[in-house]
Amino acid sequence: MVENHRSGSGYDKKQGFYPHVVMPPCQAACPLHMEISEYVDLIAQGKVMEALQVIREGNPFPSICAYVCTHPCEDACRRAQVDKPIAIRALKRFAVEFGGDRMIQLEAETKHKDRVAIVGSGPAGLACAYYLRKLGYPVTIFEAHSEPGGMLRIGIPQYRLPREVVDTEVQRLINMGVELKTDTRVLSLDLLFDMGYRAIFLTVGAHQGLRMGIEGEDSPGVIDGATFLREVNLGLKPFPGETVAVVGGGNVAMDAARTAVRLGARKVMVLYRRTRAEMPASATEVEQALEEGVEFMFLVAPVKVKRENGLLRVTCIRMELGEPDAGGRRRPIPVKGSEFDIEVSTLITAIGQAPQLSQDFRLRIGRGSTIQVDPVTLTTNRAGVFAGGDAVTGPATVTEALASGRKAAFRIDEYLQHRYPGVDREVTSSLGELSPTTIEMIRRSERLEPPCLPPEERIKEFKVIESIYDWESAVKEARRCLRCGMGAEILFQDKCATCLTCLRVCPYRVPCLDSNGSVRIPVDQCQACGICVAQCPARALVLRKPRDGRQINEELEHVIRVASESRSRPLIVGFCCQYGLLGTGALADVWRGTRAGISIVPVLCVAKIEEGHMLQAFQMGAEGVFIAGCGKECSRENTAFWVWQRIEKVRKALSQIGLEPQRLDMFTPDSSGGSMAEALDKFAERIGALYLNSVLRQEVKA
Amino acid sequence: MIVAEQKPIGEIRQLIAPYSKVLLLGCGTCMTVCGAGGEREVSFLRDALRVAEARSGDMRHDFLEYTVKRQCDFEFLDVVAEKIPEVDAILSLGCGVGVQAVAERFPYIPVLPGVNTSFIGLAKEWGVWDERCAACGDCRLAETAGICPITRCTKGILNGPCAGTKNGKCEANKDMDCAWVLIYKRLEALHQLDKMYRYYPPRNFRVIPRPRRIVRKVDVKVGEGNG
């Protein structure tokens, strides 16, 4: 039996996704599992405030992540299989800046009596405070340094994260009612319990630089990376001398090297015992360090330091790569007799960091001096003491710290409310690789990077080096998203007549027949263009994110209602691409040249406009209907072909009804020959004449 | 598959003129596949009729929409029964068989055809359908290399080609392939050209005593050895 109505599969607020949508890999890779595809799509529509709203729902401090996130989402992005991944972090920064994040005020009311102490005001501590405050707990943060922010302030250089951003977020927390005690080092957890705190979240970070264990390591002029960065970030501007060597291949090593460049060092060398391929630092960081003149010496490790005549003589040895170790990276092996000396003024060691914990905490310590916790509940060996962030994981990313702080907040809530601890669902993406056919059919589109200061400008000071996208670039970049996991599905298998229309119309050749002769639309290949959904003669198909299509009906009704109230005649309805025309504001130029009296229905790609939509516009009183697509900007080359098929079908019906077919037309910025404004103007003129004609005819009849 | 075309809106409007409540009944099988009367077409027709009524200021029709899996089997029509008291007429977008099945199933309500049933054929590509079978009841495809001269030759001749073939095309339509040239080429490829040299006597039109009926059921009398 075939039903004519369809059950809505709407957005599940509690679950945080559309039940039929398959988790895209970007969202699965994000430690916070943010709804990336959702906000990227909103940016593609130019809806930047809505995008920010989605971002804020999944991230307590989006402005911080917008600067420093190491974007594991981009590493997982499936667009990389076609050309390059979406610039997700830069897009988030665009949304944060243009969406008015600075203006957002947060409030929280106290609902519980149990006070919670947070030791450490790094990203994990701040995130925990944010969520606990939202849950209604009185929260106090204890910070040993004079300024809050932890590594955000004393670890990350200013050119990567401006201090105002941290200040704004901290101020927002204070406005929410979080108590902040700086210059307060916590020496005993018992004391905190005595003070009346019912739970403690320990997030003291990993600030202690690891030692290399070589001769002369304690000579003056040898400094560890964490200490060096802390001194610079707290306002000291030490001159490291003419020549600086940095030991290590991680992000701290990059930060230290680039900071040394900015402090005036003429020659900065990075000594790394493996090769560039094995470097744990993010590729962009390495790239930018190279641009700023940092030299890299690979397969080199220091073995001895000796201070001579105010300089450091560092004896190094060359390495070669041997068998892979437990972590999968090839182990460096010293090459006998390959020792050589370099002379430097400062040697910065950045080979790793560990937490520094007071014995009095009486906590069980694990590998690398980190706090041992239960991975599910984040509880330590002491009741009421939870731990997270770098202090538990060892040096990790800001986003991982935020995720750990958020998790801690929920676990502490459960602890205080005597609830059984919730277990986080494991988040993975079941989407497979794109097939070669799909990749071949996807239109290539270059990744746009936000503009960056030239290296010679950057190294002069600690100014932020990356600028923000302009509106058009952001929309264009966001439009590259492949909409993973939200493609078409056969919702009503019993309706499907196996007519093969979907197989024949798909621009990516995604639908296929299985060995039983049933149609399958593999979700890992579908690009969610919606063409098959609009063509399916049985209407058995839906997009997994149904809002995209349903919106047209709602908008159309709304537009017609508003227009009928205004009584301006003749009424012309235009279905316009929300991505290319409204999103980029390109339509604004069109309007300036076109007369008023046109009502616009924004559509998420004209491919989703069905014949029924066009007819409904006429039925609701439109004298003329047009469709405006984004033309060459479209993700597909043949979108217009399918829209024209539908237009011609409706035109045929119109002429059978006795209406002029030219009342329905389509325009794109590149098809109309002249300007789109001119073409639309002519269309409006034509409709005006037809309208006048029909009015006259009716009067004659009467 | 049966291929059909939706009737022009004007004609449908005339058909339904005497009635006010009309059930637009789609068919989920052939008519869906050939894009003439599936759920999408039912809704398209309703929208088009509504536009027509709105433009003429004559809004006296109420439309109900429904699409059954297949109109040509009575069992599928049972669910329509409850809607019958609500309507004055049924406009069936089924093929000719569907229309008649609906009429037979519901004897007391007018049933109108919404499509022109055209032929038995296939989809050449998206949006293009070609006739392939005339349902003559006397299949000769074994002799003609799987290409039917009855349907695909304009003249339907059994001993072609005729003198009207030119460059592989038919004299009746220069865009249309000559069926007999196609047959020749395919027989050549199959090394069966000898079949071209045989004479095929005229078809026996008497095998089509209309209406035809196929009875596969065997009459078995109860009590004669079968319990």
Question: Could you say which of B93, B119, B145 is where a domain stops?
Answer: B119
DSSP secondary structure code for residue A580 in this structure: I
The pLDDT of residue B225 is 67
Find out whether the peptide bond into A511 is cis, omega within 30 degrees of 0.
no
Three-state secondary structure string covering A607-629: HHCCHHHHHHHHHCCCCEEEEEC
Cα–Cα distance for residue pair A447/A478, rounded to 1 Å: 10
Instruction: Provide, for chain B, the percentages of residues in helix, strand and coil under a 3-state DSSP scheme, each rounded to the nearest 5.
Output: 35, 20, 45
**Percentage of the residues of chain A whose pLDDT score is greater than 70:** 95
The pLDDT of residue A144 is 94
The pLDDT of residue A631 is 86
Helix (H) or strand (E) holding A387: strand A385-387
pLDDT at B66 over 90: yes
A176, A167 contact by CB (below 8 A): no
**Mean pLDDT for the stretch of residues B117-144:** 93
Phi first, then psi, for residue B90 (nearest 5°) are: -115, 125
- Burial label for B34, CB within 10 Å (0-12, 13-18, 19+), is buried
The pLDDT of residue A565 is 78
- Sheet bearing A197-202, strands edge to edge: A179-181, A139-142, A115-119, A197-202, A385-387
| Closest-CA residue of chain B to A532 | B126
Range of the domain at B159: 137-207
| B106 shares a domain with B183 | no
Q: Which of A13-27, A237-251, A260-274, A561-575 has the lowest mean pLDDT?
A: A13-27
| B25 shares a domain with B87 | yes
Give residues with Cβ within 8 angstroms of B115, minimum separation 6: B4, B5, B6, B7, B31, B36, B37, B93, B94, B95
| B93 shares a domain with B64 | yes
pLDDT at B111 over 60: yes
Cα–Cα distance for residue pair A602/A465, rounded to 1 Å: 37
The better pLDDT of the pair A578, B109 is held by B109
Taken in order B4, B5, B11, B12, the sign of the CA dihedral is positive
pLDDT bin (cut points 50, 70, 90) of residue A2 is very low
Give residues with Cβ within 8 angstroms of B225, minimum separation 6: none
Q: Most A CBs within 10 Å: which of B30, B55, B80, as the mutation test of the A interface?
A: B55
pLDDT bin (cut points 50, 70, 90) of residue A7 is very low
Beta A300-308 vs A311-324: how paired, if at all? antiparallel
Verify whether the Cβ–Cβ distance B48 to A615 is below 8 Å: yes
Nearest to A300 by CA among A250, A335, A349: A335
**Mean pLDDT for the stretch of residues A411-420:** 95
pLDDT bin (cut points 50, 70, 90) of residue A368 is confident
**Mean pLDDT for the stretch of residues A244-262:** 95
Give residues with Cβ within 8 angstroms of A105, minimum separation 6: A172, A175
A105-135 per-position pLDDT tens digit: 888 999 999 999 999 999 999 999 999 999 9
The pLDDT of residue A6 is 27
pLDDT bin (cut points 50, 70, 90) of residue A5 is very low
| B106 shares a domain with B57 | yes
Domain contains B132: no
* Amino acid type, B113: P
pLDDT bin (cut points 50, 70, 90) of residue A549 is low
Domain contains B54: yes
- Burial label for A69, CB within 10 Å (0-12, 13-18, 19+), is buried
Verify whether the Cβ–Cβ distance A497 to B10 is below 8 Å: no
pLDDT bin (cut points 50, 70, 90) of residue A15 is very low
Question: Could you say which of B91, B119, B147 is where a domain stops?
Answer: B119
Q: Most B CBs within 10 Å: which of A553, A644, A656, as the mutation test of the B interface?
A: A656
Beta A208-209 vs A353-354: how paired, if at all? antiparallel
Question: How far does A25 lie from chain B, in Å, by closest CA?
Answer: 34
pLDDT at B205 over 80: no
* Amino acid type, A271: L
ipTM of the complex: 0.92
A140-159 per-position pLDDT tens digit: 999 999 999 999 999 999 99
Question: Could you say which of B119, B151, B174 is where a domain stops?
Answer: B119
pLDDT bin (cut points 50, 70, 90) of residue A422 is confident
pLDDT at B227 over 60: no
Cα–Cα distance for residue pair B71/B77, rounded to 1 Å: 6
The pLDDT of residue B108 is 95
Nearest to B46 by CA among B32, B71, B67, B77: B67
| B142 shares a domain with B66 | no
The pLDDT of residue B224 is 66
The pLDDT of residue A18 is 58
| B88 shares a domain with B145 | no
Three-state secondary structure string covering A74-94: HHHCHHHHCCCCCCHHHHHHH
Cα–Cα distance for residue pair A343/A306, rounded to 1 Å: 10
Verify whether the Cβ–Cβ distance A658 to B55 is below 8 Å: yes
Cα–Cα distance for residue pair A432/A119, rounded to 1 Å: 42
pLDDT bin (cut points 50, 70, 90) of residue A541 is very high
Average pLDDT, chain A: 90
Cα–Cα distance for residue pair B64/B81, rounded to 1 Å: 13
Rg, chain B, Cα only = 23
| Closest-CA residue of chain B to A540 | B39
Q: How far apart are the first and last CA of chain A?
A: 48
Domain contains B224: no
Nearest to B87 by CA among B72, B102, B70: B102
Domain contains B16: yes
Nearest to A124 by CA among A471, A431, A453, A378: A378
Verify whether the Cβ–Cβ distance A505 to B43 is below 8 Å: no
pTM of the predicted model, to two decimals? 0.90
pLDDT bin (cut points 50, 70, 90) of residue A614 is very high
Find out whether the peptide bond into A25 is cis, omega within 30 degrees of 0.
no
pLDDT bin (cut points 50, 70, 90) of residue A592 is low
The pLDDT of residue A16 is 44
The better pLDDT of the pair A325, B174 is held by B174
Interface membership of A611 toward B (CB under 8 Å) = yes
Number of structural domains (chain B) is 2
| B149 shares a domain with B101 | no
A65, A397 contact by CB (below 8 A): no
The better pLDDT of the pair B208, A349 is held by A349
A173, A129 contact by CB (below 8 A): yes
Give residues with Cβ within 8 angstroms of B73, minimum separation 6: B101
In this complex, which of B28, B44, B68 lies closest to A497 when CB atoms are compared?
B28
In this complex, which of B28, B39, B47 lies closest to A616 when CB atoms are compared?
B47
**Mean pLDDT for the stretch of residues A382-399:** 95
pLDDT at A428 over 90: no
- Chain B CB contacts of A542 under 8 Å are none
**Mean pLDDT for the stretch of residues B57-65:** 89
Partner B, chain A 208-267, Cβ-Cβ below 8 Å: none
The better pLDDT of the pair A327, B118 is held by B118
Nearest to A617 by CA among A678, A676, A583, A576: A576
Q: Most A CBs within 10 Å: which of B126, B128, B129, as the mutation test of the A interface?
A: B126
pLDDT bin (cut points 50, 70, 90) of residue A427 is confident
Verify whether the Cβ–Cβ distance B69 to A659 is below 8 Å: no
Domain contains B128: no
pLDDT at A678 over 90: no
The better pLDDT of the pair A674, A270 is held by A270
Question: How far does A496 lie from chain B, in Å, by closest CA?
Answer: 8
pLDDT at A104 over 50: yes
Verify whether the Cβ–Cβ distance B65 to A4 is below 8 Å: yes
Cα–Cα distance for residue pair A491/A633, rounded to 1 Å: 30
Q: Which of A423-432, A524-533, B13-22 has the lowest mean pLDDT?
A: A423-432
| B6 shares a domain with B114 | yes
| B151 shares a domain with B107 | no
Helix (H) or strand (E) holding A117: strand A115-119
A380, A387 contact by CB (below 8 A): yes
Domain contains B217: no
Strand-pairing partners, residue B89, are: B22
**B88 CB neighbour count, 10 Å cutoff:** 15
The pLDDT of residue A673 is 66
pLDDT bin (cut points 50, 70, 90) of residue A73 is very high
**B109 CB neighbour count, 10 Å cutoff:** 16
Domain contains B111: yes
A212-231 per-position pLDDT tens digit: 999 999 999 999 999 999 99
A121-145 burial, b for 16+ CB within 10 Å, e for fewer? bbbbbbbbbbbbbebbbbbbbbbbb
| B97 shares a domain with B191 | no
| Closest-CA residue of chain A to B80 | A1
Q: How many CA atoms within 13 Å lie on the side-chain side of A349?
A: 25
CATH of the domain at B101: 3.40.50.2300
Domain contains B225: no
Cα–Cα distance for residue pair B153/B150, rounded to 1 Å: 6
| Closest-CA residue of chain A to B29 | A497
Q: Which of A184-193, A645-654, B80-89, B217-226 has the lowest mean pLDDT?
A: B217-226
Q: Most B CBs within 10 Å: which of A657, A698, A701, as the mutation test of the B interface?
A: A657
Cα–Cα distance for residue pair A304/A578, rounded to 1 Å: 63
Q: List the beta strands (DSSP E) in chain B.
A: 2-6, 21-27, 62-68, 89-92, 111-113, 115-125, 128-133
| B141 shares a domain with B115 | no
Question: Do you know the residue count of chain A?
Answer: 702
Cα A493 to Cα A21, A490, A529, distances in angstroms: 18, 6, 20
pLDDT at B59 over 50: yes
| B147 shares a domain with B115 | no
**Mean pLDDT for the stretch of residues A231-247:** 90
pLDDT bin (cut points 50, 70, 90) of residue A12 is very low
The better pLDDT of the pair A595, A308 is held by A308
